Each structure stands twice: as C-alpha cells, then as structure tokens.
A = this chain, B = another copy of it.
Amino acid sequence: MTTPQPSHRTPPAHTDPTEVSLEAALLALSDPVRRTLVRELAGAGDWERACGSFDVPVTKATLSRHFTVLRESGLLEQRDAGAKRLNRLRRTEFDARFPGLLDLVLQGD
C-alpha cells in the first residue's frame, strides 16, 4: 500500500467567482494559453488533470502564472495531492457569475 506523500507547499489561494470583476474575467480569458487550459479542463473530469499534464508552449514559470490568473478570476480550483497539483474548472460557479462567457470560450476562437 502506498502512503501519499504529504505536500509541504502552501495551498493555492482562490478567489470566489462571485467576487471577480468583469474586467478580471475578460482579461483572464483574453490570453490564448489560458483559453487552451480552460478548454482542456472543460474536456476532462474534475481533478483529473495535474498541472504538469498540459502541453502548452510556455515555460514552467509562465504556466504557473497562468494558473494563478485563472484562480484569481474564479475559473480554476486547485488542490495538492502528494507531489501533484490537481485542477478543476469552476464551470457552474463561473457560469452563474458571467452567463454565456465560458460558452463563448469553449466554442473556440
């Protein structure tokens, strides 16, 4: 039996979608890499995708920054599981705050 490794990282800080401004939401979604992350998350189950599993043409530091922007705009929930950081698109909550916006992104550019 495997014992999960405890994570010693600081748990990620989240912003509730109800507290996100329209400007923050529009800016978060105006970046093509972030739209790719959002679309890939929409195509996966909750907590299925680890941060390292996304194939986007950016450095690790830039990718980390994109995840932060997505958390701060109420689009992303993250939790640590051992060495992995797992992701969930906050689709229902974000849809409730900004009806139709995520649908536009998921339809493609």
Q: Cβ of B100 and Cβ of A104 under 8 Å apart?
A: yes
Known contacts A98-B104, A100-B103, A101-B101; is-contact A30 B26 (Cβ 8 Å): yes
Tell me if A105 counts as interface (CB < 8 A to partner B): yes
User: Residues 73-109 of chain A: 1 if any B CB is under 8 Å from the residue's CB, otherwise 0?
Assistant: 0000000000000000000000000111101110011
Tell me if A21 counts as interface (CB < 8 A to partner B): yes
Residues from 42 to 97 in A contacting B, C-beta threshold 8 Å:
none
Q: Cβ of A23 and Cβ of B27 under 8 Å apart?
A: no
Question: Which residues of the partner chain B approach A103 to less than 8 Å between Cβ atoms?
Answer: 99-100
A: residues with CB less than 8 A from B are: 21-23, 26-27, 29-30, 32, 35, 98-101, 103-105, 108-109
